[in-house]
């Protein structure tokens, strides 16, 4: 049984305890008939659609869009969900998280009509969501986006390329960011809801990555949308992208924490069973050192992640530095923990199909997407220097 003592930390409320139980029950009882390790595009897409449907049936998607009475996300619930689902299977965490990231701009900036048109379908698992700011020449530097949206009567016409779009190919709607030109750079971008069946939106290419999930490059070729598809005001696109990312940033750390906990549990099981030199691997002090280091990294990550989520939820703070620390530390520490687990498994650790091998592939992209480790360091330093100037 994985360590759940952290749930008694003062960051959590009763509803989080109930949610943790629901998630655990869902993950252990509702997924066993699915092969969560398929790599073929068609099977992968079918799996993701089915996972989203099942999450919805278990009423677990409402945390991805329903805002609290004050109009905010319950970030602790998002983090708990990602941690627990991630501990069971990366693809399940992925399917859950993308419903939130892909609809976050609508939750945060949509008009009542936009929220009513899109969010119920996301929560019901009928509509799959995607978030599309990245471009071939605009990843870390989102203000460099080149996709254009040109006003034409009551419409905007979008042209350009979006890449690395998770859920690309299976999403029903994409939040597309494009240059509307109110000002140069970050202030000249706007956000649009583009439905997947729009003839100007083309899934140009699937991208194969080391931990397979639906991922694609999209082409926008004279893609015409009504002006009412714009989220927020013209020129607010960058703010919308950054605000959404800042909510979900610490949840990436939480998913990584789930992976790390799973790797730790796998390693604990292995070292107590495996005999070398006439005794159990767990008896050697070098093994114990590894276990201790893994446990410290896991607790340190959890503290940073739930501190950030708590500061957002309870203090109502933007918690920019705390969120960046949580994302950076959670993902980097998980990489170390998983690497140690692979080492403790010896040769078996790199065999295709072993859980630690899968986690080793699964963790890598989390250090890159939604702001790389280097970008998080820049954000952390930026907030420190800004405060020092005050
Ligand atoms: C699996 C996966 C899923 C993704 N899903 C989505 C999605 O759903 N939607 C979406 O829009 N995007 C998505 N992305 C894209 C992701 O957000 C970008 O890959 C990420 O922001 C990095 O951008 P880039 O790949 O262009 O790298 P670059 O920006 O080219 O960075 C390359 C390297 O340079 C470093 N670097 C950049 N700037 C600096 C600097 N100022 N100082 C020092 N180092 C720097 C980076 O840290 C990195 O190590 C996904 C990516 C992956 C891998």
Q: Do residues 280 and 273 touch, judged by C-beta distance below 8 A?
A: yes
Residue 69 has pLDDT above 80, yes or no: no
Pocket test for ligand 1, best of 140, 167, 212, 220 (most atoms within 8 A of CB): 140
Q: What is the pLDDT of residue 70?
A: 77
Domain count of the chain? 3
Residue 102 has pLDDT above 90, yes or no: yes
47, 171: one domain: no
Q: How far is CA 275 from the centre of its chain?
A: 38
- Supply the residue whose CA is at minimum distance from atom 5 of ligand 1: 166
Q: What is the pLDDT of residue 284?
A: 98
290, 342: one domain: yes
Per-residue model confidence as pLDDT tens digits over 348-387: 999 999 999 999 999 999 999 999 999 999 999 999 999 9
What pLDDT band is residue 4 in, cutting at 50, 70 and 90?
confident
DSSP lists the bridge partners of residue 195 as 173
Please report, for the domain that includes residue 148, its CATH number. 2.40.110.10
Pocket test for ligand 1, best of 101, 139, 207 (most atoms within 8 A of CB): 139
Residue 75 has pLDDT above 80, yes or no: yes
Percentage of residues in the chain with pLDDT exceeding 90?
Answer: 96
Per-residue model confidence as pLDDT tens digits over 111-153: 999 999 999 999 999 999 999 999 999 999 999 999 999 999 9
Q: What is the pLDDT of residue 122?
A: 97
Q: What is the pLDDT of residue 1?
A: 64
179, 273: one domain: no
Please report, for the domain that includes residue 321, its CATH number. 1.20.140.10
Q: What is the pLDDT of residue 353?
A: 93
112, 136: one domain: no
13 is a catalytic site residue? no
By C-alpha distance, which of 341, 367, 344 is closest to 356? 341
357, 291: one domain: yes
The model's pTM:
0.97
Please report, for the domain that includes residue 35, its CATH number. 1.10.540.10
Distance CA 19, CA 61 (A): 11
116, 24: one domain: yes
What pLDDT band is residue 68 in, cutting at 50, 70 and 90?
confident
What's the mean pLDDT when you consider all of the chain? 97
Q: Do residues 220 and 103 touch, judged by C-beta distance below 8 A?
A: no
89, 198: one domain: no
Q: What is the pLDDT of residue 67?
A: 76
Residue 89 is part of which domain span?
A: 5-128
Residue 302 has pLDDT above 80, yes or no: yes
326 CA to middle of ligand 1, Å? 18
Q: Do residues 226 and 149 touch, judged by C-beta distance below 8 A?
A: no
């Amino acid at each position: 049984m994985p360590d759940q003592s952290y749930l008694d930390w003062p960051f959590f409320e009763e509803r989080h305890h109930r949610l943790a139980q629901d998630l655990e029950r869902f993950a252990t009882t509702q997924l066993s008939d699915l092969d969560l390790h398929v790599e073929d595009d068609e099977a992968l897409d079918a799996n993701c659609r089915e996972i989203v449907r099942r999450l919805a049936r278990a009423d677990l998607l409402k945390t991805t869009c329903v805002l609290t009475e004050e109009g905010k996300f319950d970030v602790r619930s998002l983090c708990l969900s990602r941690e627990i689902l991630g501990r069971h299977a990366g693809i399940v965490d992925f399917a859950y998280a993308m419903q939130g990231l892909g609809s976050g701009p609508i939750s945060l900036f949509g008009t009542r009509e936009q929220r009513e048109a899109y969010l119920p379908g996301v929560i019901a698992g009928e509509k799959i969501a995607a978030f599309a700011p990245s471009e071939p020449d605009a990843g870390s530097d989102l203000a460099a986006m080149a996709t254009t949206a040109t006003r034409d009567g009551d419409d905007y016409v979008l042209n350009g390329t979006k890449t690395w779009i998770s859920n690309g190919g299976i999403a029903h709607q994409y939040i597309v960011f494009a240059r509307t030109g109110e000002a140069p750079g970050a202030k000249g971008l706007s956000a649009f809801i583009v439905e997947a069946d729009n003839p100007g939106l083309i899934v140009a290419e699937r991208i194969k990555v080391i931990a397979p999930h639906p991922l694609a490059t999209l082409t926008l070729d004279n893609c015409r949308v009504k002006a009412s598809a714009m989220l927020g005001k013209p020129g607010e696109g960058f703010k919308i992208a950054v605000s959404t990312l800042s909510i979900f940033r610490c949840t990436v750390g939480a998913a990584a924490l789930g992976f790390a906990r799973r790797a730790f549990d796998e390693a604990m099981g292995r070292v107590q069973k495996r005999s070398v030199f006439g005794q159990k691997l767990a008896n050697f002090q070098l093994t114990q050192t590894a276990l201790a280091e893994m446990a410290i990294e896991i607790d340190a990550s959890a503290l940073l992640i739930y501190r950030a989520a708590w500061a957002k939820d309870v203090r109502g703070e933007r918690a920019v530095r705390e969120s960046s620390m949580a994302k950076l530390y959670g993902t980097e520490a998980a990489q170390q923990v998983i690497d140690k687990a692979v080492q403790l498994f010896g040769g078996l650790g790199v065999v295709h199909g072993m859980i630690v091998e899968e986690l080793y592939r699964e963790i890598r992209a989390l250090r890159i997407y939604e702001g790389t480790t280097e970008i998080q360091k820049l954000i952390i330093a930026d907030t420190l220097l800004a405060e020092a100037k005050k």
